[in-house]
Copies of this chain bind each other. A is one copy, B any other.
Amino acid sequence: MSDGKSGLQLRSLIKSSGELEISLQNVPTPEPGPDEVVVRVEATPINPSDLGLLTGAADLATAKASGTRDNPVITAKVPEAGLKAMAGRLDQSMPVGNEGAGVVIKAGSSDKAKALMGKTVSMIGGAMYAQYRTVRVNECQPLPAGTTAAEGASWFVNPLTSLGMTETMRREGHKALVHTAAASNLGQMLNKICIKDGIPLVNIVRNKEQADLLRKIGAKYVVDSTSPTFMDDLTNALAETGATIAFDAIGGGKLAGQILTAMEAAINKTAKVYSRYGSNVHKQVYIYGSLDSRPVELNRAFGMSWGVGGWLLTPFLMKIGQADGQKLRERVANELKTTFASHYTKVVSLQEALDLANLGVYAKRATGEKFLINPNKGA
């Protein structure tokens, strides 16, 4: 094991010539400032949100391996159309990895920093696909005794996003919610939160296997968007739960509009008075993903009290402020082995993450398939 003065860091570079290059670089570990610590990273997940930065708009069918076993390199072509969307990052070598966990091996001079020495902490802040990471104290969350780095690695993106959804629901005055692509890792976590907190959750999935998976973990309302009775099933579930807010990972196509239409139909089942502007109940769909990149199509068969918008974790956390955000973090840390437990199909080293066979699996973002990187595996 090295002394932590330098270590490998994964880098993603998209050249203006249209080539993606993923490689490992040995970089010096920055000395911690007073309010900073150095963490030996032991676990960091590959989330869909990391893949956006890792592989960008590259066509992975063109991916090639080069370099050595210890220092592998992956290259791939970025199609002309995709290159335009990458304009802001061209020719900049970018570190990757939103979240992770590890052990504090060096601390800055402040009391807060010193208090973390030797502790296992979860971290946020990017550049986690690295052996060592110097982070600010407020980017760390100490883990309860007995919780491992692997258990604490996926502590932020999925847990805070799913908690952000139920928090947004409460803060905007709704009492139940809808989630799409609901069998995802995030969707399963959301089910656990909602079951624990007694929040009615309508899960929309795209096949029977996903429906079965969710029912097995206790989901009560599961509707299949590929079923011929989808709109009726959804309307009934919405009438039963009273859900008037949805979080949608699909993005494109007609689904957001179908959800609003079914919400309005569910509300009108009990409406007594004619209003040509539709119900006065505000119906909201937040789009937080883009599994379908086609345009959103809204037929507006749902009155005038509606909204569709983008939703992201970071602006949400900024809006609720640090104190309320810290409460959410602490809940996650305390429930990492239960509500917020993540399951990984494979644990890889940094070098193994650059193996074409592994890339081919984790880049698919398949439901149930999730990789964990241990940057110090074998080190």
Contact = CB atoms under 8 A, between A and B. Distances in A.
Contacts of A89: 274, 276
Interface in A301-318: 303-312, 315
Interface residues of A, number: 34
A4 interface: no
A268 to B, nearest CB: 8
Interface in A279-314: 280, 287-288, 290, 295-300, 303-312
A309 B309 contact: yes
B306 A295 contact: no
Contact of A306 (B303, B305, B309): B309
Interface string A90-101: 001000000000
A142 interface: no
A272 to B, nearest CB: 10
A229 interface: no
B290 A300 contact: yes
Given A276-B53, A308-B309, A298 B300 contact: no
A275 interface: yes
A52 interface: yes
A312 B277 contact: yes
B307 A88 contact: no
Contact of A88 (B92, B274, B309, B311): B274
A32 interface: no
B305 A307 contact: no
A295 B290 contact: no
B298 A304 contact: no
A178 B296 CA distance: 22
